[in-house]
Structure 1
Amino acid sequence: MLPTHCDTLISARWIITVEHDGEVLENHSVAIEKGHIVAILPTAAAAGIAADEHIDLGQQVLMPGLVNLHGHSSMTLLRGLADDKALMDWLNNHIWPAEGRHVRDDFVFDGSLLAMAEMIRCGTTTINDMYFFHGAVARAGLAAGMRTFVGCSILEFPTNYANNADDYISKALAERREYLGEELVTFTLAPHAPYTVSDDTFRKVVTLAEEEDMLIHCHIHETADEVEGGVREHHQRPLARLKALGLLTPRLIAAHMVHLSEEEVALAARHGLSIAHNPSSNMKLASGIAPVKALLDAGANVGLGTDGAASNNKLDMLAETRLAALLAKVGTGDPTAVPAATAIRMATLNGARALGLGERTGSVRVGKEADLIAIDLARVETAPAFDPVSHVVYAAGREQVSHVWVKGRPLLKAHRLVTLDEQDLLGRAEDWRNRILSH
């Protein structure tokens, strides 16, 4: 039965539902009540619904919000600081020393706010983050209005945040307790990588994840050197080591997964873990091309991430979606690999499923929460529009994202940020630039 009233009625030329690959509803409207989609119907039939606000998008696409499955938000404040370096040189000689000098609560809060403003303007509604000073990330997410998964980094060595693995875990759980009940904030356990975390710590993470019902977020098989180093130190490849430790479960979001054998692809699919593919970061650091087509063909759940702005250098999920489709083609020699509809599903529903949100968000369906974005195709860059699915992936840019809603709440309206102050963020960024340059 159709509603007679709703909070918001959004009408668009096209709706990409992602419920079925390539499904497009033309000249349809979405009715939203209390943050949920209560009706999807032809716009001509929506005239009988009284709405507190009716938004006519004209020649635009309405689609699910993008899910950034792997990021380090506050590293926006290190954007461009040490470009064109190899991964371990970049980390050991540039990023980690800069973090040691500057990372604290205010750095993480300001950097996360800046990142979230950029992500919102790119159509991202959910971020799966990994960093330190977790309360600062949570506060930023609440201020921005984004769905924020706060990854609690765990390492064996000291940083500004903690002294050892047990200290990281203890502080993470304490900060998590402060935000229990916040609907848009979820804490995850984030052991950094197999080369920075011991067997004993991984075992503790697996036990805690089960006891506290938490997801696990970890960098895995990012570079060939990482894999070779794992073999030298542990006499087995990292993924095999993690399997023996019990880490390979549907709770695991494995970031990167670039260097995989056929057996490891099958292993990832069989154990139900999710992969966060980061095409721009993998290209910039020359890490390689992840076997995305093989993973998808095996039945693995593959989403997309930006990684941090220090290794990308932009947090643009539309760009990642395009690159994911293109890299799969050039990496396999198959122009049909990862078609546009699959790339959009990776950027939306697959990411939502990885985070346990697949029944709540990630597609446009009655009953789901209204995490939605609008992309304006009435531009010379996207004219003529034969296929909106193809255009979103291959032609549209982030400057064409006009509106963003999370659970029906507007975060971006007619290209303008609603929840965050752009000038304030620019001032904070400039202040941090001066502080960082002073060292």
Structure 2
Amino acid sequence: MNWSKDKGERFEQQLAADEARRWRRAWITSGAFLLLLMVATVGLLRMMRGDPQVLLETSLQELTAANDADEIPRKLDHAAKARDAAESAIGLGADSPSANLLLAAALAIRQDDPNFMIDETYASKASQAKIVPAESSTRELIQAGRAFFFAGDNQRADELLTEAYARNQLRAEVLNPLVQVRYDRGSEGTVLELSEELAKLEPDNCLPWVARSYVFEDRQALEQLVATYQELLNRHCPERDLTRWKLVERLIELGLAAEAAQQWDQLASEFPKVAQAKQSTHAKLLFMQGKLKEAKPMVTALLERNPENIDALLIRGQIALAEDRPQDAVVAFEKTVELDPTHPQAHYQLGQAYAKAGRRDDAKRELDFHAKLSTALVNLHSMERAAAKDTSNTAVRFAIAEKYDELGLTKIGDYWREQALAIDPN
């Protein structure tokens, strides 16, 4: 055996093995270096361009600030920042339903900006097409719903807020905008249910009581209105002067003279200028209390200032009836009906005056019309509110015109028909 030769071969093999290990270490070191370099590059890019999740949170915060802002310039500024953050997140690959929801909501607010650009219109349509409410967080749904409500897109707002409401999270935060959206959409029944729930969650919140007052005003539910106005006053809600005056009016309609007088005294004490401007209400109260001598000069003064003061004409007719002067009452009530043919009480009082004057057929006609009008006005008020909220809705305007035609009030019907044709001549 040649030990020298074997030793040489073993030495060469050892050298080859050592060389292979060195190359492996070099490759591993290079790979680790490249990996670290890639991580550092990604981190640097994120630092430069932003992390998608951080950008989405920023967009949500700016959208919330936009919704909370009272001044339009500040609202538009925050909406622009929300848009930029959402677009940056999408640019970094976060083209998610949440990112598109926030972008669409921000652009909905920005439509009020005179500098709203055409490419923003395209972006708005594209982002709205990618909205999936079930895949967005409750906070995102609430703020986006508020934004679309501000923009007048109540259908989209309702869709988003309804999804949020179904999750039973952030209940009060969802209910505040949802109550408003449902009222604007004419869902009065659900408004009452939702506002009742909100009032329990936030006892000092005025919104549920304001919403309930709107519903009861539309329905002319006097007893519920009185209770609601009192709740608003108890909470020291805004527009206390207007609320207390409305309370006096409703109490007068209910024939509750003592309560009306008490509320009038409070109105005159707290808001003397308002009381002075509402002398027709005071005249109604005096008539109800049987103080005709005090009411008559007040009515005369009101009509001297404005011969077409409907409230004053109505009181003049009522005083004439009380003094057994039916012909004078007929003149006053006919003038009232001429000025406002949709005034239910004027038609009722005219019917009573005709009856006292011996004009039975005329009396029956007016009293029948009063009943028909009172029923129709409940729906008409709701339809007219819908028309006011949606200025491009021709269908509701034609429907209103048809309702007035059915009542024989063709001039009012023509007015609504002309409005519809002005929007769409075809």
Q: Pick 1 or 2: higher relative contact order, CA cutoff 8 A, min separation 6.
A: 1
Question: Greater strand percent: which structure?
Answer: 1
Question: Greater helix percent: which structure?
Answer: 2
> What is the TM-score with the length of structure 2 in the denominator?
0.29
